[in-house]
Amino acid sequence: MANKKWPENWQDVTPGCIVSEPGSASQYHTGDWRAQKPIWDNTKCIKCGVCYIFCPEGCIIEKEDGFFEADLDYCKGCGICAHECWPLAIKMVEEG
Amino acid sequence: MGKRKGMEIALAAAEAAALCRPDVIAAYPITPNTHIPEHLSDIVAEGRLDAEFICVESEHSALSACMGASGAGARVFTATSSQGLLYMAEIMAIASSMRLPVVMALGNRALSGPLNIWNDHSDIMSQRDTGWISLFASHGQEVIDMMIQAFRIAEDRDVMLPVNVNLDGFQLTHVVEVMNFPLQEEVDAFLPVYKPYASLHPDHPCSMGTLGLPEIFSEATRAREAAIVNSRKTILKVWDEWEKRFGRRYEPIESYKMEGAEFAVLTMGSMGETAEVAIDALREKGVPVGLLKLKLWRPFPYEDLKKAVKGVKSLIVMDRAVSFGGPGGPVASEIRSALYDEPSRPDLTNYIFGLGGRDVTVEDFIAMIDKVRLADKKRPKEHYEFYGVRGE
């Protein structure tokens, strides 16, 4: 997991902490925050994509076979996907 | 050079702000600063100034709108007083942390309660630690000059910080004075078109006001402190240039009759003018007393203060605000702390007075100075004293 590089010293902080490089949030791996991870049961999944739509982090990916999975580099384990999944195909499982 | 004209100081502040050609003005009326945005809206409506005047629904929105416009690269101006400043409080620290050069005219007024619309310095003192540069004017000419200087200081690439110009409510905002108004071409030559360090433009995408996790917050705060401390150099440079162009000298602490002074009075804002008359009267009687007028509250001018009080036996600091349950007045507390490490320092007496519009007279100054000067040395020294309060 490549981690975001913080400015070395206070002198290196940009004025007003301005970030001039677009999309730099992807350098920060919010997956570190996770206590639970979503596990899909593809026998129940109907490929509706509700999890993909509701994921606030935008880290749920549709695979080639049409099923979904979370990019664990960014998934914070919030559980919104599991809450919204009406066929109950997603279960939140403790990490570790 | 310039145009001499008699005018209410609030209107003059608006005229001075207009001379700086702000692109966006967002303000909500509140006594006693109301005439400033009111007159600016007239100036815009008359077509004398090409600016967007945003009639916001609150002070919170006023400062927020200014920050958004400043982030987009506009030169911005706002004005407020007292409770209005408190309503801006949530945004105050964000403006300085985002290094946006917002300029504000602050018509100083007591914080309620009891509800009071008149002058003291409790409003700005509540926002002291929000990272803004704070200038204090003692008369109308200084209001005009500081308003124009404020834009130049705020927008300087070595500064990039918001600036508030403090003018005492009523004592300054509602008083008519004869002042010298710089000409438009003189202001244009002094204050170049604003070129932002970064702006919200689709061609150069950037993020402002980002999240600061614990990994970066301390460094970001340290950088903010460095920015305001370093702004001193630019402030002095701008004041030097002002003197060359307009002939009026500005210093962080202005000395008045300090030659051989054993006693010194230190004031901030309009009461300095009254104090001058008291100093004149006492000097005539042979009393070695002088006056120090503090014009730069943040960044605090430590070096100038140490130099100014050299040789002074007793320093009398006048405060128009109270730090409740604390060290007395905020100005005196700052000065005590500034002189703590000095090998020799004057005795310090702190008077708190002139609260919520209570009149401050020449006789009051003479009485306060005499009280210190003629005091029995064995008397236990009080930390601070409320002057002119019934029952004291």
CA distance B238 to B133: 14
Confidence of residue B85 (pLDDT cuts 50, 70, 90): very high
Parallel/antiparallel/unpaired status of strands B3-8 and B176-181: antiparallel
A5 phi and psi, to 5 degrees?
-90, 120
Asked whether residue B379 carries a pLDDT value surpassing 60, the answer given is no
Of A9, A18, A24, the CB nearest to B208: A18
For chain B, give every residue range classified as CATH 3.40.50.920. Answer: 253-386
Helix axes B9-19, B140-155, angle to 10 degrees: 30
The CATH number of B253-386 is 3.40.50.920
Lowest mean pLDDT among B39-48, B90-99, B206-215, B230-239: B206-215
Supply the pTM of this predicted model: 0.93
Q: Enumerate the residues of chain A whose CB falls inside 8 A of the CB of residue B208.
A: 16, 18
pLDDT band at A14 (very low <50, low <70, confident <90, very high): very high
Per CATH, the architecture of B3-246 is what? 3-Layer(aba) Sandwich (3.40)
pLDDT for B98 beyond 80: yes
Query: CB B161: neighbour CB atoms within 10 A?
Result: 30
pLDDT reading at B355 higher than 90: yes
- Would strands B52-55 and B24-27 be described as parallel, antiparallel, or unpaired? parallel
Note if the bond before B299 is cis, omega within 30 degrees: yes
Whether residue B380 is predicted with pLDDT greater than 80 in this model: the reply is no
Q: In the predicted model, what is the mean pLDDT of chain B?
A: 96
User: Is any Cβ of chain A less than 8 angstroms from the Cβ of B149?
Assistant: no
| pLDDT computed for residue A2 by the predictor | 47
Residue ranges matching CATH 3.40.50.970 in chain B: 3-246
The full set of domain ranges for chain A reads 33-94
A3 interface with B at CB cutoff 8 Å: no
| Residues in contact with A65: Cβ distance below 8 Å, sequence separation at least 6, in sequence order | none
> Rounded to a whole number, what is the distance in Å from the CA of A67 to chain B's nearest CA?
33
Contact B227/A at CB under 8 A = yes
Interface contact B10, partner A, CB < 8 A: no
* Residue B151 pLDDT greater than 80, yes or no: yes
Put simply, whether B205 touches A (Cβ < 8 Å) is yes
Longest dimension (CA), chain A: 55
Average pLDDT over residues B43-58: 98
Q: Does residue B67 belong to the interface with chain A, where contact is any CB pair within 8 Å?
A: no
For residue B1, pLDDT over 70 is answered with no
ipTM summary value? 0.86
Check whether B316 has a pLDDT greater than 50: yes
A15: closest chain B residue by CA:
B99
DSSP codes of every residue in A28-73: S-GGGG-SEEEEE-TTT-----HHHHH-TT--EEE-TTS-EEE-TT
CA distance A7 to chain B (A): 8
Q: Check pLDDT > 90 for residue B392.
A: no
Nearest to B206 among A7, A13, A18 (CB): A18
Determine the residue of chain B that is closest to A11 in CA distance.
B223
**b/e burial code for range B226-235 (CB count within 10 A of at least 16 → b):** ebbeebbebb
Query: The CATH number of A33-94 is which of 3.30.70.20, 3.40.50.620, 3.40.50.1950, 3.30.465.10?
Result: 3.30.70.20
pLDDT band for position A22 (50/70/90)?
A: confident
Interface contact B207-A19, CB threshold 8 A: yes
Cβ-defined contact of A16 to B219 (cutoff 8 Å): no
